[in-house]
């Protein structure tokens, strides 16, 4: 059976992992052609580091990069803004040659996954 493998990663699993371990797991799965869906998303710092790591590992024959789409962070109260870490909501990450974002709205991400 031909298809695209998806990994749906729970909030609980993500919270147990240090940032670098989480980013390495995501990048390794995407390099294998899998689509990774994170229940809670990444912090802005983690997302920037993931992009940086990706740029270092691009190989134009086998791995051309990643596509990352997240729901926007919900507006929070003043106290949360001052003392809380901003976290993305649901995030979809995949190989750039397989995952294409068609439309992104406040609560909907429409994407095309190529086999």
Residue 37 lies in a domain: yes
Dihedral of alpha carbons 74, 80, 81, 85, sign: negative
pTM of the prediction? 0.81
Residue 83 lies in a domain: yes
User: Residue 49: which region, alpha, beta or left (left: phi > 0; alpha: psi -120 to 50)?
Assistant: alpha
pLDDT value for 59:
86
Provide CB contacts within 8 A for 108, sequence distance 6+: none
Provide CB contacts within 8 A for 70, sequence distance 6+: 41, 42, 47, 88, 89, 90, 91, 92
Q: Which helix (H) or strand (E) holds 35?
A: strand 35-38
Residue 44 lies in a domain: yes
Q: For 106, how many CA atoms within 13 A lie in the half-sphere containing its CB?
A: 2
Q: Could you read off the pLDDT of 95-105 as tens digits, one per residue?
A: 999 888 888 87
Domain coverage including residue 19: 6-113
Residue 81 lies in a domain: yes
Q: Report how many domains make up the chain.
A: 1
Residue 1 lies in a domain: no
| Cα–Cα dist 48/70, whole Å | 13
pLDDT value for 9:
95
pLDDT value for 84:
61
Q: Could you read off the pLDDT of 63-82 as tens digits, one per residue?
A: 889 999 887 666 566 665 66
């Amino acid at each position: 059976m031909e298809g695209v493998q998806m990994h749906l990663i729970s909030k609980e699993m993500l919270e147990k992992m240090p940032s670098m371990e989480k980013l390495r797991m995501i990048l390794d799965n995407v390099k294998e052609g899998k689509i990774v869906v994170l229940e809670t998303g990444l912090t802005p710092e983690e997302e920037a580091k993931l992009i940086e790591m990706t740029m270092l590992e691009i190989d134009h024959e086998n791995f051309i990069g990643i596509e990352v789409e997240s729901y926007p962070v919900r507006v929070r109260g003043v106290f949360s803004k001052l003392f809380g870490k901003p976290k993305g909501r649901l995030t979809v990450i995949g190989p750039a040659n397989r995952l294409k974002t068609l439309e992104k709205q406040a609560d909907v991400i429409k994407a095309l996954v190529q086999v």
